[in-house]
Amino acid sequence: MTLTRDGIAYRVACDLPDGAYVNLGIGIPFLITSYLAEDREIFIHSENGILGVGPVAARGQEDPDLVNASKDYITLVPGASVFDHALSFTMIRGGHLTHAVIGAIEVAANGDLANWRVPGQKVPGVGGAMDIAVGIENLYVAMTHVTNKGQPKILPACTCPLTASACVKRIYTDMALIEVAPEGLILREVAPGIAPAAVEKATAAPLRVAKDCREMDVPPVFNGVELRQ
């Protein structure tokens, strides 16, 4: 049984510590705002100039002046601040954010990240991904383990243009939690019902199974949302 997109977001949210300042990327990462622990004070940053991003706005309550960097309608938490783009990237480049969660096209065994362009496809540019990847110490990737064609996304070396080199610390997928260590990739957790051997088979890069590898603590449903599939 693999995790849903919300299931991946839930599992990442469990690891964000109290007092963290976190940039969330497009897609699965932004879902994390719905699963932050109520007993922790976690500050969500958006690179278009917001600190204190709340959950996605409820249908019918969208404010056109409140959007994140991926144009999702958002809410603000009490005490949130809004500022210009230049100050936002000063925070990123200056190392003032503690964590970032970002999507990926490919991740290499040494932590190289490719997340902005598939060869042959036209895109407007890399956006803020490069600044985030090199400016924030704890970079986590949240993605599906394989492509929609069943091809591994965790590789010995990236084939797509790099966003940044040796920057990824952890990889959260619908199948597993993998640590990127100096000695290589370490399988720390598997999704409920998934065997470590199945994760190894779906991973193109060498993968060492930790002695204390365990099953993820992710419930089937959270607040009416399915976290497993």
Active-site residues: which are they? 47
Residue 193, number of CB atoms within 10 A of its CB: 10
Distance CA 227, CA 196 (A): 20
Residue whose entry in the numeric block shows the structure tokens 């204390």: 212
* Cα 183 to the center of its chain, rounded Å: 22
Please tell me the distance from the alpha carbon of residue 40 to that of residue 27, in angstroms, as a whole number: 23
> How is residue 6 written in tokens?
């919300």
Q: What residues contact 78, with CB distance under 8 A and at least 6 apart?
A: 52
Backbone angles phi, psi at 174, to 5 degrees: -70, -10
Which DSSP symbol is given to 102?
E
Residue position matching structure tokens 């976690």: 42
Give the Cβ contact number of residue 89 at 10 Å. 16
How many Cβ atoms are within 10 Å of 47's Cβ, its own excluded?
23
What whole-number distance in Å separates Cα of residue 23 and Cα of residue 140? 10
Joined tokens for residue 113: 């990240």
